Amino acid sequence: MLARGTLADAMLLLTGATGMLGSTLLPRLTAAGIPVRCLVRDPRRLGPERVRVQIALGDLADPPSFRHALRGVQTVVHLAATVRDQPGGSIEELGGIATWRMVEAAERAGAERFVFSSALGATAHDRTRLLRSKALAEDAVAGSRLTTTIIACSLLHAPGAGLVRMLERLSLLPVVPLVGHGRALVQPLWAQDAADCIAECLRREPRVRHERFELAGPETLSYAALTRIVTGALGRRRPLVPVPEGLVRGALRTSELLLDGRAPVTWDEAEMATVSLTTPRGAADARMLGVEPRRLVSVLGAG
Ligand SMILES: NC(=O)c1ccc[n+]([C@@H]2O[C@H](COP(=O)([O-])OP(=O)(O)OC[C@H]3O[C@@H](n4cnc5c(N)ncnc54)[C@H](OP(=O)(O)O)[C@@H]3O)[C@@H](O)[C@H]2O)c1
């Protein structure tokens, strides 16, 4: 369990507390008695935790809101990000540029430590906008004067959330479409295991000024295999039908134009299923942090 330890009584700012990972990490922090402030757009989305934290209304699209949120903060855990353009900003603005601004604001506010969630394989020339924006953000974090920790994750999963939820919906169809051939590889990591790893990073004194962990689950799966496991866990085994990427892109871009921000899936989201999110270190970094990550089947209750 996370103890206050190095965090003492100093305030911790958590962004993305309402997301899959943040909502898993937050109860660990509050249960350990760590004073937490959450930068949120809508506090109601914090659920019961909202009475245990300080709330700073803010938005990645509104950098002035960072200043208020960062007052008196020692540690920033920056998890907020988006894989979909928003009215207030693009994926690049809300991921890359906002992180750079958050780092600058944290430096100015006198914070000491900055923890940032990135993704495996984030490079400036990746085909996906999200991973390119993560590369920009990683540069800003690693170049900062603060003590920093980058947590680069493979695909995160939790029952009823994220990709698992989308596959659950798709499995209601008679066949489940795969973007391309579903050959891209992931090492799925349960959000609870990822949260335990971050909690352990926060508990221990960093060994170097800029540290980086690559967090992945214990198995390497193609998207096709992952889809079979998720649909199998639901008892809905369906034929998987590869759909050419060009066709998926065209159809999703058209629906985005027609539905104006309300499309159930965007091309930027679907494109993530065409890139591999893997590390040759496998689950080694998670184990180094004292976490033995669980296999997808055991989390979904299918194994
Ligand atoms: N999920 C994965 O497979 C995966 C893999 C690798 C890395 N990561 C990274 O891990 C982190 C957490 O991922 P996740 O899956 O927990 O994400 P998530 O469930 O999509 O949650 C995103 C969080 O960011 C917040 N957010 C989005 N736009 C915002 C804005 N404009 N202003 C303020 N907050 C905003 C959301 O708040 P609202 O409630 O207001 O929408 C939510 O709390 C992200 O940085 C993500 O890129 C995720």
Per-residue pLDDT tens for 123-157? 999 999 999 999 999 999 999 999 999 999 999 99
Note the pLDDT of residue 303. Answer: 45
Binding site membership of 153 for ligand 1 (Cβ less than 6 Å) = yes
Per-residue pLDDT tens for 101-130? 999 999 999 999 999 999 999 999 999 999
pLDDT value at 1 more than 90: no
- What gap in Å lies between CA 152 and CA 154, rounded to an integer? 7
Note the pLDDT of residue 301. Answer: 79
Q: Can you state the percent helix, strand and coil of the chain, rounding each to 5? A: 40, 20, 40
Per-residue pLDDT tens for 51-100? 999 999 999 999 999 999 999 999 999 999 999 999 999 999 999 999 99
Radius of gyration (C-alpha) of the chain in whole angstroms: 19
The DSSP element (H or E) to which 190 belongs, if any, is strand 189-190
Note the pLDDT of residue 8. Answer: 58
Binding site membership of 23 for ligand 1 (Cβ less than 6 Å) = no
Binding site membership of 63 for ligand 1 (Cβ less than 6 Å) = no
What is the topology classification, in CATH, of domain 5-156+189-217+279-294? Rossmann fold (3.40.50)
Binding site membership of 198 for ligand 1 (Cβ less than 6 Å) = no
Distance 96 CA to ligand 1 centre (A): 13
Mean pLDDT within 20-37: 97
The DSSP element (H or E) to which 38 belongs, if any, is strand 36-40
Per-residue pLDDT tens for 241-271? 999 999 999 999 999 999 988 999 999 999 9
| The residue to which tokens 């750079």 are assigned | 100
Alpha helices in the chain, H assignment, sequence order: 22-31, 64-69, 91-92, 98-109, 129-142, 162-170, 191-203, 223-233, 245-259, 267-271, 284-288, 296-300
Judge if pTM exceeds 0.75: yes
Average pLDDT, the chain: 95
- What gap in Å lies between CA 70 and CA 173, rounded to an integer? 46
At 4, the pLDDT band (50, 70, 90 cuts) reads low
Residue nearest to atom 47 of ligand 1 (CA): 81
Mean pLDDT within 1-7: 60
- What gap in Å lies between CA 46 and CA 57, rounded to an integer? 12
